Structure 1
Amino acid sequence: MDIVPGILKGDKRSIARLITLIENQADEARDLLKQLYKFTGNAITLGITGPPGAGKSSIVNFLAKKFRENNKKVGVIAIDPTSPFSGGALLGDRIRMQDLTLDDGIYIRSMGSRGALGGLSRASYDAVKVLDAAGMDYIIIETVGVGQSEVDIIKLADIVALVLIPGMGDEVQAIKAGVMEIADIFVVNKSDMDGADRLITEIQMNLDLNQDKNKVKPPILKTVGTTGEGIADLYKTIIDVQKQLQDSGMLTNKRKTRINQELQELIREIHLKQIISSFETQIRIFTEKALNKEIDLYSAAVYILENAKL
């Protein structure tokens, strides 16, 4: 089956082939994505982020099942080198998540993060488009939960759920303000542990201090990822938030902002490649000069950019 028609029919093998081409930066991937682009924009993207050990994979597992119970097709992208898909999680999590792959209405893919800071890779942006074109109703993106990926998730997700666990206490104060601001829903997982109510109070206090007073306060929910307790409420809240975003026009605004940001990033990425390719010889020469302390790196970079055809 040809890749594009296969993807439009929801064929898992075709989806996997294109995402692999994307990850390998194959030339043909760009043309295939171009053909698929007009079929995107229908899926709701849901970002699940939070610190390592918060139980994100368990929540994703139960949430995906809940979407399927409601006849929704689900794509899952795990951007986490320690996720069950790459073998880094507990065996129980890995087995539970792999059970989902037997369902024709679910597609799961593990993808690497970019660099040590865990920022989202270009491939993850394009993988979301592939799953969208394949007819997924919801695409769940689980991030590594450290560094840049927590903030980057807003560039991919319509709705962001931040998962926290008891025992963090004052650590909530240390969470990047940007992450607190982008969360549409707060999830206190492992809520059967001591300190769950205290954590909820910490979150509420943090929001009172830092959130825009004109914004609606995000809901704070309790879950137990090991048993699925609270997942039904989380599912209902996601649907409610989705409706609010759609009715208020905020969903369209979010997507417009994301498209603008991605376009700017692509321009920078393409332009940088063009400059480096055009000035390969000069870069080698200036590398030697910098090594011999004949020029500093900043001056070398300025020279190259000033002579580039901008």
Structure 2
Amino acid sequence: MAGDIRTVARLMRDIDDNEPGWQDVLKLLYAEARRARVIGLTGSPGVGKSTLTDALVERLRARGLTVGVVAVDPTSPFSGGAILGDRIRMQRHATDEGVFIRSLATRGHFGGLTASARGVVTVMEAMGLDVVLVETVGVGQDEVEIVRMADTTVVVTVPGMGDDIQAIKAGILEAGDIFVVNKADREGTARTINELKGMLNLSGDHNRRAGWEPPVLATSAVDGTGLDELVATLEQHYGLLTAEGGKMLAERRREGLKREILELVQAGLMRRLLVRLEEGGGLTPVVEKVLEGREDPYTASEKLLSSVLGA
């Protein structure tokens, strides 16, 4: 809470490595943490999320705000490692004491966010950071998970993706508060903007919350086009959330916490189940019963669940 970088880095490492005791630390921090403004950036790979995040950090710092960045990188399914290249792209902020960047690997966690990301955000809030940017790995419309954490969700795409733009239909289309067509210097920007606007109009009222109609902005992180407009739009959306005593912001966070608590319960059940399985010789005996036709998988799963719940 005093902002000691080494302490923060060690705690984040323990959270990411799932070391024993990190939850006890977070229990203490959660009660004391000042809730930061969380902005999520999501979109397919190669749309320039990291470069856009870097540009946003620069502009937020110019306003005197302290900024945390949680950058989630894809994990290799073979080695289990990650490149963690976001730190390389944001190297120019490395000496800025008002910026803290943490890269996380997905470790096989789908939905665009690593399981430890929420814990890392809590640590950044305890540090007293004003804004936390969460940049998610591009995994298509499953990225709606970012909505559970972010106060404002920015969906990033680029021109020239062709039919790939259909990938942001459905869930992520409803989840986005602001849509950004990055690399706007490319050919086809106007067409992509029109397609997005058309898709938003067809999606009905799902993505229109209390007078907010998600805008579609054109940006270029390379030459700075549209970045000031994006920052102004982010401020406008946050202003709407915090109006009337923060009623909308509280409701959004309430829904996010509800999902987070359920996920923690689910994770706890899984841990207990794995312990019970180890005590009984692992999953192999159960699989063998099903394979031999002595039991069906549905009954087997019900028995396993009952062993955890004690019912």
Task: Tell me the TM-score normalised to structure 2 length.
Answer: 0.88
Change (3 A) 1:117 1:186: same
- CA distance, structure 2, for counterparts of residue 123 and residue 113 of structure 1: 9
Partner amino acid, structure 2, of 1:145: G
Contact kept, 8 Å, 1:120 with 1:149, in 2: the verdict is no
Structure 1 residue 285 and structure 2 residue 281: aligned? no
Paired position in structure 1 for 2:233: 237
Paired position in structure 2 for 1:217: 213
Paired position in structure 2 for 1:272: 270
- CA distance, structure 1, for counterparts of residue 100 and residue 142 of structure 2: 22
Partner amino acid, structure 1, of 2:241: L
Paired position in structure 2 for 1:4: none
Contact kept, 8 Å, 2:47 with 2:156, in 1: the verdict is yes
CA drift at 1:62? 0.7
For these two proteins, the number of residue pairs brought into alignment is: 298
Change (3 A) 1:212 1:114: farther
Contact kept, 8 Å, 1:79 with 1:113, in 2: the verdict is yes
- CA distance, structure 2, for counterparts of residue 183 and residue 238 of structure 1: 12
CA drift at 1:270? 1.1
CA drift at 1:277? 2.1
Partner amino acid, structure 2, of 1:103: D
Unaligned runs of 5+ in 1: 1-7
Residue of structure 2 aligned with 1:202, choices 190, 195, 200? 195
Paired position in structure 2 for 1:3: none
CA drift at 1:55? 0.6
Q: 4+ residue runs of structure 1 moved beyond 4 angstroms?
A: 86-89, 93-96
Structure 1 residue 52 and structure 2 residue 53: aligned? no
Other structure's SS at 1:181 match? helix
Residues 253-272 of structure 1: matches in 2 within 5 Å? 253-272=251-270
Other structure's SS at 2:21 match? helix
Contact kept, 8 Å, 2:140 with 2:168, in 1: the verdict is no
CA drift at 1:127? 0.5
Paired position in structure 1 for 2:78: none
Partner amino acid, structure 1, of 2:44: P
- CA distance, structure 1, for counterparts of residue 24 and residue 181 of structure 2: 42
- CA distance, structure 1, for counterparts of residue 33 and residue 48 of structure 2: 30
Contact kept, 8 Å, 1:170 with 1:202, in 2: the verdict is no
Other structure's SS at 1:27 match? coil
CA drift at 1:233? 1.2
- CA distance, structure 2, for counterparts of residue 95 and residue 174 of structure 1: 28
CA drift at 1:284? 4.6
1:194-220 Cα offsets, whole Å, 9 max, x none, are 111111110110011003076431111
1:78-135 Cα offsets, whole Å, 9 max, x none, are 11238xxx5475xxx7654111111000000110114274542221110010001111
Paired position in structure 2 for 1:107: 100
- CA distance, structure 1, for counterparts of residue 21 and residue 93 of structure 2: 30
- CA distance, structure 1, for counterparts of residue 254 and residue 218 of structure 2: 32
- CA distance, structure 2, for counterparts of residue 268 and residue 94 of structure 1: 32
- CA distance, structure 1, for counterparts of residue 3 and residue 141 of structure 2: 31
Structure 1 residue 300 and structure 2 residue 296: aligned? no
RMSD: 2.3
Paired position in structure 2 for 1:42: 35
- CA distance, structure 2, for counterparts of residue 298 and residue 262 of structure 1: 27
CA drift at 1:273? 2.0
Identity %: 38
CA drift at 1:222? 1.2
- CA distance, structure 2, for counterparts of residue 260 and residue 65 of structure 1: 33
Contact kept, 8 Å, 1:181 with 1:211, in 2: the verdict is no
- CA distance, structure 1, for counterparts of residue 56 and residue 151 of structure 2: 16
CA drift at 1:291? 4.2
- CA distance, structure 1, for counterparts of residue 178 and residue 116 of structure 2: 26
Other structure's SS at 2:94 match? helix
Unaligned runs of 5+ in 2: 76-81
- CA distance, structure 2, for counterparts of residue 148 and residue 116 of structure 1: 14
Residues 143-222 of structure 1: matches in 2 within 5 Å? 143-147=136-140, 150-212=143-205, 215=209, 216-222=212-218
Structure 1 residue 227 and structure 2 residue 223: aligned? yes
Change (3 A) 1:114 1:95: closer
Contact kept, 8 Å, 1:75 with 1:140, in 2: the verdict is yes
- CA distance, structure 1, for counterparts of residue 288 and residue 6 of structure 2: 48
